[in-house]
Amino acid sequence: MISGGHFTYFITIFLMIAGLFLVIARGNLIKKLIGLGIFQTSVYLLYIAPGKLVGGTAPILSPEFTIYSNPLPHVLILTAIVVGVATLALGLALVVRIREAYDTIEEDEILAVDSAHETEVQTT
Amino acid sequence: MTIATHLPALQVVIPLVAAPLTVLLRGRHLPYFISLAASWIALVIALLLWQQVNAHGTISYAIGKWPAPWGIEYRVDQLTAFMLVLVSGIAALVLPYSRASIENEVPPQQHYLFYTMFSLCLTGLLGISITGDAFNIFVFLEISSLSTYVLIALGRNRRALIASYQYLIMGTIGATFIVIGIGLLYLMTGSLNLADIGRRLAQVQGTRPVLAALAFLTVGISLKLALFPLHQWLPDAYAHAPSAVSSFLAATATKVAVYVLIRFYFSVFDASQVLSQLPMQEMMLILALAGMFAASAIAIYQTDLKRLFAYSSVAQIGYIILGLSFNSPTGLTATVVHLFNHGVTKGAIFMLLGAVTLVMGGSTMARIQGLGHRMPLVSFGIVLCGLSLIGVPGTVGFISKWYLLLAAIEQGQGWLVFLILLSSLLAVVYVWRFVEAAYFREPRKDIDADTRVPWSMGLPSGLLVIACIYFGLDTSFTVGSSVKIAELLFGGMR
Amino acid sequence: MIINVLLVLMAFTVWVIIQSRNLFGVIVLGGIYSFLMATVLVAMDAVDVAMTEASVGAGISTVLLLGALYLCRSEEARPMHKPWLPFIVSVAVAGVLVYGTLGLPEFSDPQATIHHHVVPRYLNEIQQEVDVPNVVTAVLASYRGYDTLGETTVVFTAGAGVIALLRRRRKGRSS
Amino acid sequence: MRNDLILRVIAKLLIPFILLFALYVQFHGDFGPGGGFQAGVILAASVIFYALIYGLDDAIKVVPEPLVESMMALGVLIYAGVGYAGLLLGGNFLDYFVLDPNPVHGQHRGIFWVEVGVAITVSGVMLKIFYMFAARGKSDD
């Protein structure tokens, strides 16, 4: 039961975790956003996969078919995709500005620049 | 069929329309007046809704005339109306304040976008509070989050960019966790309407996906409300955002996240069932205490006042969650009262700090030396709010602490009473650091503080400070509502 | 089953993305990942979603990422420390997910709750109520039209936000 | 690249078809996959394609920046306007039933305008984001 019926879930979980890991483990700001994208997209499968019925068809009504996949998750995920790309666009705009302000997009280097700057301010 | 029946929808869609209007019309003055009008109308609507709910009970509004589980429902109960009044009230005060503040902190060609983003943020927060649909929460959460990221990034310092980016990453992880949680609930119940999910969960209560959903929702929302170990985004965001943004966020954003948590616990997961199946109560208690002490301790060592009070916010969120962890009507009363009281206090503090930044050019301890002589009224206001953070009688902070203590005693946990008082001592220490710098140090000669605080900034800040005292003496609105809310949520009325 | 093959391919793509430090390559792989996702979605009968994912995930996102990479000109640096904490967090999240999903209905189980509550009205009554054959369009624009208003507002927020972040100062433009 | 005659000619030939496809996706969304969002993306893509071949300045001449910015706002206003129309005609917010004496026709009308609003906002935003990133790169060189 476990291996057959839940295979999609396991791959979905792997994708989610891989994305999440990329976001929190990596220091490169662009790579983080790519990880965030994978994390968000993998959730689509969690919603869509259970709505599929074998032998069914896309939820566009037609007299030839009687079994349709569940349309509600499709609607929700359409919204989620749009939210995802909106977040990505904002994130990248921020990365471009950060690169202009700090000349790097590695988190460790930025934090180093900032803490060096902070001690400078305090001593003067 | 008058306009009164459509107030729930208008509450959100009036600020929503204000946002594109500010972009369409642009110009120097129009965007400000559009968003100001929208926020004041929103406040009036919120007050009317509050009145309606108190008179006639819960209001349900079917958007698009589609009945509840099929369409999206707006649902206003007393807790919702209470939140709507808080959020729109703060917005109505912050907007007039922002005019002069933004003039000083944001480049002119971005002013109209500031008002766009502010209206969107308000829309999002109101939308989260009022909706009765799980996925709709996510959509409006994203409206408020995305606009918040931009608002923070408008700060003068380049570190505002980093703060915004970090919040974007953590906020999006939080939102995705919430989506996973909602997805699992949907897969188990087939519904997205909160009340409907709540009813249908009874059949699948305690199954594994429901417990996982609870875990994901709790962690996701905790990221948004900056519960202690997940708070890292908050201090930087508050410290580097424009002052008007800090005060609005400090007073509302985390509070709305707490509201969502309460909503899910009490309207979806039948509270007593869920809180007993997982050790949620114990976990919340531990994290709340950890937040109260650790964040207060960190606050003491801050050199920038904005960061100091930002860490204090994390500590105060600890109190809010502590009240929730009791899982008792008194505890919930304390939580809801403190949502309001802390919102008012922190809103006032960050507004006053904005005035300090305007005049002194910054809010570091070194700069504000002798502030008590240079800006006596502002310093006095900060001290009053500080007393409220400590919980001195006569301020709103006392009311919250009082109900927290009552709840702790009710549970027979005397050691908690001791801990709550001990953590208040930490608040005394960090507030004292301000007092020491402002009143017992000579003003620095090299900073000339000729600028006067414009009345458009002074008046809203003053009003909020007065509110800090007023609601500490007359508690009929805050405590009265909170008690009713606690009864409502524990009475199993959904 | 074609879906399973595609899913394994996706997992493989993500694995390579984790390993690689060449950002350009990673972005291209991200595009491939999105195309695979779109194909899986077609196989799962979610044609509207697939179309959007192909145009947004593989199209717009990739263009945006490449544009940002061009502006930043960066390679990923080696991490300074071992990512133990992120690893533990990820494993914990995976644990909760596995625990949770094992209780879910099996793949393509027609008895699952989601096929019996709320959705039947969409599928059965739509002809009388809305009369639009594409159920996804009808639910998106009418039954849950308010979500879509919110979604449009999110897009608008992103657009206005990018202007606020990236518009050049007047001075800079003339010089 | 920008002076390549073949590219320019192919672009000129292709862009009308892309626009046509966008319109098809927009208005066929009731019967097949597609709708305002996808159409908006395709619409924006056609202008981006034009900008890649003919250069950003030429694209901005065809579709000027203030227009794009107004489109972003206009789409949301159209969508919300449909909602308000429902209110004014005596229904709830976003109530399409009251938009026409025949409720089902009202639904059609509501969905049509809502999708138009989505397409306008989405194409405006996508284009604006592209302009912003592209302009940022230009003065960097």
Name the pLDDT band for B65 (thresholds 50, 70, 90): confident
Across the interface, which of B153, B162, B183 has its CB nearest the CB of A46? B183
- What's the rounded Cα separation, in Å, for the pair B62 and B68? 7
Q: Does the beta carbon of D135 lie under 8 angstroms from any beta carbon of chain C?
A: yes
Question: Residue B474: is its pLDDT beyond 60?
Answer: yes
- What's the rounded Cα separation, in Å, for the pair B338 and B291? 16
Name the pLDDT band for C80 (thresholds 50, 70, 90): low
pLDDT at A68: 85
Question: Residue B476: is its pLDDT beyond 60?
Answer: yes
By C-alpha distance, the chain A residue nearest C118 is A72
Mean pLDDT of C40-45: 89
**Residue D106 · residue D92 · CB < 8 Å:** no
B230-259 residues touching A, CB cutoff 8 A: none
Query: Best interface-test mutation with C: which of A69, A76, A94 has the largest number of C CBs within 10 A?
Result: A69
- Enter the tokens of residue C35: 């195309």
Instruction: Please state, for a pLDDT cut of 70, what percent of chain B lies above it.
Output: 98
Handedness of CA D63, D64, D68, D70 (dihedral sign): negative
Within chain C, how many helices (H) and strands (E) appear? Answer: 9, 0
Cβ-based contacts under 8 A for chains A and C: 277
- Which residues of chain C neighbour A26 with C-beta distances below 8 Å? 76, 79, 83
- Which residues of chain B neighbour C172 with C-beta distances below 8 Å? none
User: Do residue B123 and residue C99 have CB atoms under 8 angstroms apart?
Assistant: no
User: Do residue B6 and residue D92 have CB atoms under 8 angstroms apart?
Assistant: yes
- Which position has the higher pLDDT, A88 or C113? A88
Q: How far is CA C10 from CA B121, C13, C30, C38, in A?
A: 36, 5, 10, 11
Sorted by where each begins, the domain ranges of chain C are 1-75, 113-167
pLDDT at A2: 40
By C-alpha distance, the chain A residue nearest B185 is A47
- What's the rounded Cα separation, in Å, for the pair D25 and C54? 14
List the Cα angle B172/B175/B177 in 5-degree steps: 110
pLDDT at D121: 95
The nearest CA of chain D is from the CA of C20 a distance in Å of 26
Mean pLDDT of B352-380: 88
Mean pLDDT of C95-108: 82
Enumerate residues 6+ apart whose C-beta is below 8 A from B494: B195, B198, B199, B267
Out of A27-31, B180-184, B412-416, D104-108, the most confident range is B180-184
**Residue indicated by tokens 């301790």:** B297
Q: Does the beta carbon of D110 lie under 8 angstroms from any beta carbon of chain C?
A: yes
The nearest CA of chain C is from the CA of D9 a distance in Å of 23
**Residue B216 · residue B178 · CB < 8 Å:** yes
How confident is the prediction along chain D (141 residues), in pLDDT tens digits per residue?
A: 456 888 888 888 889 999 999 888 888 877 878 788 999 999 999 998 898 888 888 889 999 989 999 999 999 999 999 999 999 988 889 888 888 888 889 998 999 999 999 999 999 999 999 999 888 876 544
Across the interface, which of A70, A89, A97 has its CB nearest the CB of C115? A70
- Tell me the pLDDT tens digit for each residue of B87-130: 999 999 999 999 988 888 888 888 999 999 999 999 999 999 99
Q: Does the beta carbon of D97 lie under 8 angstroms from any beta carbon of chain C?
A: no
Q: What ipTM, to 2 d.p.?
A: 0.94
Name the pLDDT band for C36 (thresholds 50, 70, 90): very high
Backbone angles phi and psi of D12, in degrees to 5? -55, -40
Question: Residue B493: is its pLDDT beyond 50?
Answer: no
Mean pLDDT of B282-307: 91
Q: Does the beta carbon of C109 lie under 8 angstroms from any beta carbon of chain B?
A: no
Q: How far is CA C160 from CA A90, B256, B335, C116, D127, in A?
A: 10, 24, 36, 41, 12
Mean pLDDT of B205-214: 85
Across the interface, which of B23, B61, B62 has its CB nearest the CB of D73? B23
Question: Residue C169: is its pLDDT beyond 70?
Answer: no
Q: Which pTM was predicted?
A: 0.94
Q: Does the beta carbon of B186 lie under 8 angstroms from any beta carbon of chain A?
A: yes
Per CATH, the number for A2-123 is 1.10.287.3510
- Tell me the pLDDT tens digit for each residue of B369-427: 888 888 889 999 999 999 999 999 989 999 999 999 999 998 888 888 999 999 999 99
- Which position has the higher pLDDT, B413 or C155? C155
- What's the rounded Cα separation, in Å, for the pair C107 and A9? 8
Sorted by where each begins, the domain ranges of chain A are 2-123
- What's the rounded Cα separation, in Å, for the pair B61 and B6? 8
Beta-bridge partner residues of B76: B59
**Residue B236 · residue B161 · CB < 8 Å:** no
- Which residues of chain D neighbour B62 with C-beta distances below 8 Å? 92
Beta-bridge partner residues of B62: B73
pLDDT at A79: 93
**Residue indicated by tokens 């002798």:** B370
Q: Does the beta carbon of A47 lie under 8 angstroms from any beta carbon of chain B?
A: yes
User: Do residue D33 and residue A60 have CB atoms under 8 angstroms apart?
Assistant: yes
Question: Residue C45: is its pLDDT beyond 60?
Answer: yes
Instruction: Please state, for a pLDDT cut of 70, what percent of chain A lies above it.
Output: 91
Query: Best interface-test mutation with A: which of C8, C15, C41, C45 has the largest number of A CBs within 10 A?
Result: C45
Subunits adjacent to chain D (3 or more Cβ pairs under 8 Å):
A, B, C
Q: Does the beta carbon of D111 lie under 8 angstroms from any beta carbon of chain B?
A: no
By C-alpha distance, the chain B residue nearest C162 is B150
